[in-house]
């Protein structure tokens, strides 16, 4: 499926679950795409916890590992689950809070000029064929809307926050995006 980005930054025809965790972008072109991995609890898939985190409704007492997430305000523009279902949480025109302390090509604060895509996954598990198929379509749609996102400007979270982040991890196949691993 090819999606188009509407005037507010939402992809037409995609499920929307608006997160409260975003704010206005500075007047910068969107020219970076950041690929992430997320699972809650770690390396467990299919539960409601990722969405709850992004919507600000995660119960930190639901699992022992969630205690460190108490009060965390985080989001990404998109999440692709293990069966390839995409959900948009933040309009592309808004700054999602996905990159944290980050640096790319001489600029800090990558949230200011990037779009974040979370894949439900972890470093030790391969991603599904369905996830790659959806990711490829989503990347094509975003690159059509934001032509400054060249293949060289599609990066992993680990590349903009080295030493702090490892996602999307060693099991992510960069060749699927026609980009060699860096």
Which residues are marked as active site?
Answer: 118
Neighbours of 46 (CB within 10 A): 11
Q: Which residues pair with 94 in a beta bridge?
A: 24
Tokens of 140: 């094509």
Q: How many CB atoms lie within 10 A of CB 135?
A: 22
Tokens of 117: 């895509």
**HEC string of 35-91?**
EEEECCCCCCCCCCHHHHHHHCCCCCCCCHHHHHHCCCCCCCCEEECCCCCEEECCC
Q: How many CB atoms lie within 10 A of CB 76?
A: 26
* Among 84, 68, 87, residue whose Cα is nearest residue 13: 87
């Amino acid at each position: 499926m090819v999606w188009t980005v509407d005037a507010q930054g939402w992809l037409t025809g995609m499920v929307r679950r608006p997160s409260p965790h975003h704010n206005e972008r500075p007047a910068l072109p969107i020219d970076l795409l950041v690929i992430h991995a997320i699972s809650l609890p770690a390396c467990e898939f299919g539960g409601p916890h990722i969405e709850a985190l992004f919507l600000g409704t995660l119960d930190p007492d639901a699992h022992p590992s969630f205690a460190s997430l108490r009060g965390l305000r985080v989001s990404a523009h998109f999440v692709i689950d293990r069966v390839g279902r995409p959900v948009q949480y933040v309009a592309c025109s808004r700054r999602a809070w996905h990159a944290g302390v980050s640096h790319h090509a001489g600029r800090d604060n990558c949230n200011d000029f990037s779009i974040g895509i979370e894949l439900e996954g972890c470093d030790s598990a391969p991603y599904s064929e369905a996830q790659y198929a959806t990711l490829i379509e989503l990347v094509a749609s975003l690159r059509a809307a934001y032509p400054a996102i060249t293949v060289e400007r599609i990066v992993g979270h680990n590349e903009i926050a080295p030493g702090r982040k490892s996602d999307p991890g060693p099991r992510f196949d960069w060749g699927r995006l026609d980009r060699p691993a860096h």
